[in-house]
Every structure is written in structure tokens, then in C-alpha cells.
Amino acid sequence: MAKAQATSGAGQGGFRQAQAWLHTWCGLWFSWLLFAVFLTGTLAVFEEPITHWMTPEHHAEEEAALAASTRPTASLGQRLDWGVAYMQKHHAGAGMWELWPADAKGAGELRVFWFDSQRQYVSAELDTASGAPLPAASQPPARLTLGGQHFVDFHYELHAGKVGLWIVGIAALAMLVALVSGVITHRRIFKDFFTFRPRKGQRSWLDAHNAVAVLTLPFQFMIAYTGIVISGLTFMPVGVVTQFGAGMPGAWAFQAALNEPGKPRPSGRPMALPALESFALRGQQLMGQPVRAVVIDHPGDAAARIGVYGWNEDAGAQRRLSATSGLAMFSAATGEVLQLRLPGGVDGGKASLTQSVMAGLHMVAFGGLALKWLYFLCGLAGSAMMATGAILFIVKRRPRHLGEFGGATARVYRLIEAANVAAIAGLGVACIGFLWANRLVPPGLAQRDDWELAMFFGVWALALVHALARPAAAAWKEQLGLLAALCLLLPLLNALTVGDHLGAQLLRGDWESAGVELFVLATGLAAGWSRRWMARGKSIAGSAPRPAASLESEVQA
């Protein structure tokens, strides 16, 4: 055993051997957290369809809005005038007015935003028929839910704010380390490119791990790196602090140096705000996009600025990696163009453009449905990479552990096995449990979105307790069985609680809901198949581990 320790350990042996050690342990300790981050990120690709499925009462509203958009509605100019009139009457002293006159087709809501006396960002909706303010939504939505946003929030910050963001960031860096060390360790990366030998135990798990990882390797590197860089300034603020100062003032100075040619200070001379329609139309023409928002800095002052922002719904938006919208900034007094940013462009230079492209690459707003499905497939592959890696660790070492933790090794392995079950199968159960909660928690209940989230975390915690209490093989079978049952019964649950079912969804062309249910069914079948395969004996958990030394002595005796 001492010999085993001397030749395999941190920084021991040859370069490849040392990297293999790094890959094993860096990979293992982060595998459970990374699997959760990766799986929820994969689901987040289809955030909107998931939200759509989770808000069935909203469908009628959506259809009504669609019908309403075909009726004649107030023109852009009229909407802008009403917005200005409202702001003039109620918030004339505000330093910034923000008007969202219409959607990309010139219809839809009319909203205005400003910063109130407590510096809170607030809004009001105006009636598109009269310009009068509408009362704030007196009733909350019929079924208050986080929807698909839950998966997004969990993915990048674990629903834990800054601390969660840091944890995910550290995990993402560990993923990059695992990827690099994995490639270094994988000696026959080209020879084994297409190799998969089923039904050979540890060999098969290694082949599966290699296949999902190597075949999607460009994606894995890209998604991890871009994910970190998006929050890069949060993780590495020292450069900003030394050059621009610390805290909020430093951050503002940095943003100013990057973006704005300089927000003008109010001149103190009053000047009536000119009619906005001509500015909006000029902006549309310069940007090549329909108007999304008109932002007025220092309204009523001679130094007022009018910024016109565009909707990213032009034909080119799908073909751009950078997701920034167009912007045309005018001087209210002279009408000259102060700044023009074409769609996809950035206010700064190359580094800013790189930042925007990296963010765009990570969040795949481009390329339409095909790109979303490609990212989804690669995301599932990445999740499988982490799951197979964690399982491979146990499959390889259970028969003869190497005493990495001395006398406690058997107990540590037990914990690792429980973590595997809870992190992989258990997370699956928690995710489908979240959808079950959406249908089971009464729609009118106050703060029901918190209840749904509590179900997600509660089910996951129970899965961990279950995995610690039961022997590993049984835990796998039971949790996979539960996952299969919950998935396969979801359409039935939907029919019983909301009265909607897969057939009806397909008939009315509701591909978002149908897609969610079909994928859930497929997952249920996969989980069921996995459980049967496990029950047949070829298991990923075996008998209690024995130390390697005792096996050797048996062989020599």
C-alpha cells in the first residue's frame, strides 16, 4: 500500500500519471455539483417551453394577446406622446424617463419606467387605447411560479446570490482543469475515438465517459470558459480596483470608460422635450431594427439625450453571436446623432466585443431551434460525462480499494456512492418533482412559487437521506424507479389537474407543452430501462470493498 501511495499521488510519477491523479480527484469532488449545474443549465436552454407548460392558465391570455394584436391599435407616435404626457404629469422631476412603446410589430403593451424617490426602478402600464394609466396588477397571476427561470437561477447561482455565483464559478474552473487533465491523460484519444465496448463492466463505463466527453469536447471547453468569463469581473476585480478604484464608484468609472462617451450633466437651462416620434423613426432607420425603448436623460433640460433602442427580432439577429441590440443616441436640442451602435455591436472595443460574443455563445439566443437542440444534446452529453466519471470511480475501486484514506477508506467510499445516487438519480427526481409540485400546489396559494422551490430542494434532500440509509444498489434501483414513475405519470397528472393532455396539445399545435411532456416521457423510459438493466445484476454497485493488500496476499498464498 505504501508503494501505491508513492507512485500515485499529487505531483507524483510521470507527467501523465500526475495528471491522471489530478483528473480523478478534481473530477470526483466537483462531479456532483457540476452535474447539477450542467443538467439545470441544459434544461435552461428550453426555459420558455418549461415556463409555458408550468403556466397553463396563461395560455388563454397569450392567445387573447395574439388576437388583440391583429386589431387596430394606437400608432407609435401616439403611444410615445401618451408616455411623455404621463411622465410630464406625474414624474416631471425624474432624471430619466424610459418608454417602451410597443413590441416589434408596433402593437402590444405601452410601459414607462423611471427611478422613484427611493432610487427604485419602477414602472407603470398605460392603456394603448387612451394613454391612461392602468391600475397595477391587482391580482397576482393565476398560477404564480418561477417556471423555467428556476433552472436558470439554480444553474448560475444555486438560488444563493453572490455566494452561489462564486461556488459555481469555482466549480467551472475545476471543470476546465478536469477537461485539460483528462485530455492529457487520455493516451489513445484518436484511436479510441469511436470505441464503445458494452457489457464489459469498468471498460464500458470508461468508454462511455470518454465518448461523451471527447465527441463534444469543443462544446465543453467553450461552455465552461464562457460561463466563467460572463462573471469574470466579479471573480477577478483587482484590475478594475487598481485602475479605477474600489467599490461602486470604481465600477461606475470602469463602466463609463468602457461604454458611455459620457453622460452629459444637466445644463440647468429648461427646454421642452421635442416630440419623440421623429427621433424614434430616425433611430429605427439608422439601426435597422423596430423601436424597443426610448430613454430620455434629463428630460426638460437643454442637455437632454434621447436614446432609441431596437428589438432583436430582425432577420439578422439569429445570425449574430453577440446579442446586443441597436442603439441610436440623439441630442434633444440639436437632433444630432451622439452615438450609433449597430445591432450586435458594443460601445467599447475588441475586449468588449469579445465579452459580448462570449456571453452570446453561452446563452445561445442565436440560430433558432436547431442550435438550441444542439446545445441541449451537448449539454446532456456533458452531464453524462460527469455522471459516468463519478460512477466509474466507484466501479473501478469498489472491488479493491487503494486505501487512499487509510482506515476510513471503506466509509468514504460508502459516502461517495451515496452522493452518486443522490446527485444523479436524486437530482432527476427533484427536477421532475418540481413539475409535479407545479400541478399539485393549489394555484391560488400565496407564495406558491416558494412552495414549488421548497419541494425541489426538499425532494433532493430526501433523496440524499435515502441514499445514505439504503445499500447502494437498492438506492439506485429505488430512485431510478421513482424517477421513471414520476416521469411516465406526468401527462396523466397534467390531465387530472389541469385537464390538458398530450393529444390535445399536439392537436392545437402547442409544441412547447408537447415537447416538455414528450421529453419527460423519454426520460422516464430511459430511467425505467436503466433500472431494469441494473436489476439484472450488472450493477454499478457491488459488494463491500476490501483493501487491495488483502487480495494480493490471497493471491500469493
Partner 1 sequence: MSEWLAGLLSLALAFAGMAALAFAMERHYEQLTGGRNRPPARALRCLGAALLLAALLPCVWGWGATVGCVAWLGFVSAGAIGCVAGINAAPRWAARAAWAFGPGALLALAWVCIAP
Partner 2 sequence: MNHLSTAYPGLRLLSRVGAAVLGGYLLASALGVFSGALFPGDAEAVLAGVQLGFAVHVAAVIWAFSPVALGRVWAGLLLPAAALAALAVLLPRWGA
Binding site for partner 2 (CB under 8 A): 5, 9-15, 18-19, 21-22, 173, 176-177, 180-181, 184, 225, 228-229, 232-233, 235-236, 238-240, 242-244, 254, 257-258, 348-352, 354-355, 358
Q: What are phi and psi of 340, to 5 degrees?
A: -130, 120
Q: Kindly tell me the burial class for residue 449, based on how many C-beta atoms sit within 10 Å of its own C-beta (0-12, 13-18, 19 or more).
A: buried
424, 380 in Cβ contact below 8 A? no
Encoded one letter per residue, x for contact with partner 1 by CB under 8 A and - for no contact, window 217-236 reads -xx-----------------
Contacts of 428 (CB under 8 A, 6+ apart): 39, 479, 483, 523, 527
Number of residues counted as binding partner 1 (CB under 8 A): 29
The conformational region for residue 55 under phi > 0 = left, psi -120 to 50 = alpha, else beta, is beta
CB of 344 to partner 1, least distance (A): 10
Q: Residue 447: which of partner 2, partner 1, none does it interact with, CB under 5 to 8 A by kind?
A: none
Q: Residue 371: which of partner 2, partner 1, none does it interact with, CB under 5 to 8 A by kind?
A: partner 1
CB of 4 to partner 2, least distance (A): 12
How far apart CA 185 and CA 330 sit, in angstroms, is 57
Q: Which stretch binds partner 1 (CB under 8 A): 21-29, 135-143, 250-258, 316-324?
A: 316-324
Coil, helix or strand at residue 397: helix
State which of residues 11, 14, 72, 198 lies at the interface with partner 1 (CB under 8 A): 198
280: number of Cβ within 10 Å: 24
Encoded one letter per residue, x for contact with partner 1 by CB under 8 A and - for no contact, window 381-400 reads x-------------------
Encoded one letter per residue, x for contact with partner 1 by CB under 8 A and - for no contact, window 356-375 reads -----x----xxxxxx--xx
340, 323 in Cβ contact below 8 A? no
Which residue, 28 or 520, is less far from partner 2 as judged by CB?
A: 28
Q: Residue 402: which of partner 1, partner 2, none does it interact with, CB under 5 to 8 A by kind?
A: none
Look up residue 504 and give its amino acid: A
Contacts of 189 (CB under 8 A, 6+ apart): 183, 214
Which residue, 113 or 219, is less far from partner 1 as judged by CB?
A: 219
CB of 229 to partner 2, least distance (A): 6
Encoded one letter per residue, x for contact with partner 1 by CB under 8 A and - for no contact, window 403-442 reads ----------------------------------------
- In the block, residue with C-alpha cell 423596430: 290
How far apart CA 58 and CA 138 sit, in angstroms, is 16
Which residue, 95 or 250, is less far from partner 2 as judged by CB?
A: 250
State which of residues 16, 105, 319, 508 lies at the interface with partner 1 (CB under 8 A): 319
Q: What are phi and psi of 115, to 5 degrees?
A: -100, 125
Q: Residue 550: which of partner 2, partner 1, none does it interact with, CB under 5 to 8 A by kind?
A: none
438, 58 in Cβ contact below 8 A? no
- In the block, residue with C-alpha cell 458494452: 198
What are the C-alpha distances in Å from 116 to residues 141, 266, 296, 329?
25, 18, 15, 24
275, 296 in Cβ contact below 8 A? no
CB of 229 to partner 1, least distance (A): 16
CB of 462 to partner 1, least distance (A): 34
How far apart CA 490 and CA 488 sit, in angstroms, is 6
Which residue, 522 or 544, is less far from partner 1 as judged by CB?
A: 522
Where on the chain is the footprint of partner 1 (CB under 8 A)? 191, 193-198, 211-212, 215-216, 218-219, 318-321, 361, 366-371, 374-375, 377-378, 381
